[in-house]
Structure 1
Amino acid sequence: MMRFERKIQEEAARAARRLPPGQVLTDRFPVLHYGPVPKFDPATWDFRVFGLVEEERRWTWEEFQQLPRTTITVDVHCVTGWSKLDTTWTGVAFRDLLRFVRPKPEARYVMAHCEYGFTTNIPMEYMEDALLATHYNGEPLTPEHGYPLRLVVPRLYFWKSAKWLRALEFMAEDRPGFWEQAGYHMRGDPWREERYREDW
């Protein structure tokens, strides 16, 4: 019994080390977004990459399904204070997407463009391990969690993992997205508690 209790305590300690400051662990997956859930039409949906790239590209839904697939397991940290450990996502790795578009050397930021004009900005160095996810835990994303495509940026607060992704724009200069214009931090690193713009 003592050995079992010690194992539980060790697992709890390991989990606590994975929690950024101000976060609380949850097993649930809260649904948070601004505005309604968009409807998906595979016949008209497309995904575009533009801006500071050598070749701008556009994929239909059918074409997007043919891109290489990657699965990652990451911890999720929401700016509202909850964290969920060991979430598993499948989709197109950002690094694989780069070989189709070839960003120019001056591209230092990415703006994610989503349904209803929602945007969020991300520094390029935080996109290195990002994923354009179509599946969560082996199943297609639910509409509330971003179906058919959402960005997953593992090292930043989860608002940067924008739902209902439609385009990525490569930029030389940073500019605020939707929530950043409303006062959220321009970068959003949870380990630095970069929640709001006054922390910038």
Structure 2
Amino acid sequence: MQRNTITRRDLLLAKPAHTTERDFQPVQTPTGDFFRQRLRHIPRIDPAFWAFGLGGLAAKPLVIPYETFMTLPTVELCATLVCVGSTPAHPLMSSARWRGVPLAALLADAQPKPEARFAQWYGADGYTTFTELSRLGEAILAYEMNGEPLPPEHGFPVRLIVPGVYGYKMPKWIQRLQLTDAPANGFWEQRGCSANGDVLTLSAITAPRHLESVRGPVVFEGFAFAGARLIAGVDISIDDGPWMPVPLGAAIPYTWRPWRITWTPPAPGNYRVKVRATDSDGFIQPAAAPAFPDGSTAIQTIIIRVTA
């Protein structure tokens, strides 16, 4: 069977999120259930010897030791993170409440030179990527996750959070940032992933599961997410019938939006169920779309077995 997902060897180290909950409220995913993705080892960093460096095309380069970094003003941000290889069949997607230092404040202190246009990131695991400076207005260097210190597997002591982009644009175990006038492709960009990393519009049915046997009436539940855009609507279709709008949960910027609908089947049997989302730009998910290299935006289809 062909899988609509990235199959590169490196993604084998990804651990799917736990998505068995029947209710996606609240938005926050417990830290222990949050999906994990790494390419190499998990660095074990002693904060006594860690410092964040900001240099390159900066008039006033910064080197901030851990103790000083932890005293800087912070902001809190709720954000959903998605791996570019995520599909409904292999979910790599979770939400958390992040606290950290706003990058804009550090950039203001460093005074980027006029020719600086890109941020080149370097992690302690050897991972690199880049971001356009113009896209970092709401970015934070997070050191707390769901009210607790950032765990090593999620980037301790500091990871980058940029709302609305895929996880490969948010490196963990951050050591330094170099301001440059031109981008230098990182690990995933060299393998064909997009330079901007914008999350594509997606939706999923989380209950019932594919091929699950259920009794009527059937409660369908799931979520939809569109990165920096909002979810304007979600529809389901039964046995290729007309698309039916479903009730939505609260719309919170940069986080997935839950949905739920109860359906009474006309008789026992197998039913084919599809879901699609429409974002605030008017984009509607297509029936099919390639997952590699820019992420999946195809609609999900499941089959349920109604027993009575």
Match of 1:94 among 92, 99, 103: 103
The equivalent of 1:152 in structure 2 is 161
Q: For the Cα contact (< 8 Å) 2:75–2:100, is it kept in 1?
A: yes
Alignment CA distance shift 1:73-1:175 (3 Å): same
SS at match of 1:111: strand
The yes-or-no answer on 1:30 pairing with 2:35 is yes
The alignment's TM-score, normalised by the length of structure 1, stands at: 0.79
Task: Output the TM-score relative to the length of structure 2.
Answer: 0.53
* 1:73 and 2:170 are equivalent in the alignment: no
Aligned to 1:190, the other structure's residue is in SS state coil
**What are the residue-to-residue correspondences of 1:102-113 with 2, within 5 Å?**
102-113=111-122
Confirm whether residue 61 of structure 1 aligns to residue 71 of structure 2.
Answer: no
Displacement, 1:194?
A: 9.1
Match for 1:150: what amino acid? Answer: R
Trace 1:1-200 onto structure 2 (pairs within 5 A): 28-81=33-86, 82-85=92-95, 87-191=96-200, 196=293
**Larger strand proportion of the pair:** 2
Offset of residue 150 of structure 1: 0.4
Check 1:107–1:70 CA distance in 2 against 1; reply closer, same or farther (3 A cut): same
Structure 1: gaps (5+ residues): 1-10, 13-25
Change (3 A) 1:73 1:88: same
Is contact 2:81-2:94 (8 Å) kept?
A: yes
Greater relative contact order structure (CA < 8 Å, 6+ sep)? 1
**Partner deviation per Cα, 1:52-82 (whole Å, 9 max, x = no partner):** 1111110111111121111111222221213
Take 1:74 and 1:172, find their aligned partners in 2: how far apart are those partners? 29
Identity %: 35
What amino acid sits opposite 2:110 in the alignment?
V
Offset from partner CA, 1:82-125 (integer Å, 9 cap, x none) = 3334x210010111112210112221111111113211111112
> CA 1:66 to 1:46, structure 2 compared with 1: closer, same or farther past 3 Å?
same
- Which residues of structure 2 form unaligned runs of 5+? 1-22, 87-91, 202-289, 295-308
Deviations, residues 158-185 of structure 1 (Å, cap 9, x unaligned): 1111000001111111220122123322
Which structure: larger Rg? Answer: 2
Higher helix share: 1
**What amino acid maps onto 2:42 in structure 1?**
V
**Residues 185 and 195 in structure 1, CA contact (< 8 A), matched pair in contact too:** no
Q: Secondary structure at the match of 2:104?
A: helix
SS in 1 for 2:153: helix
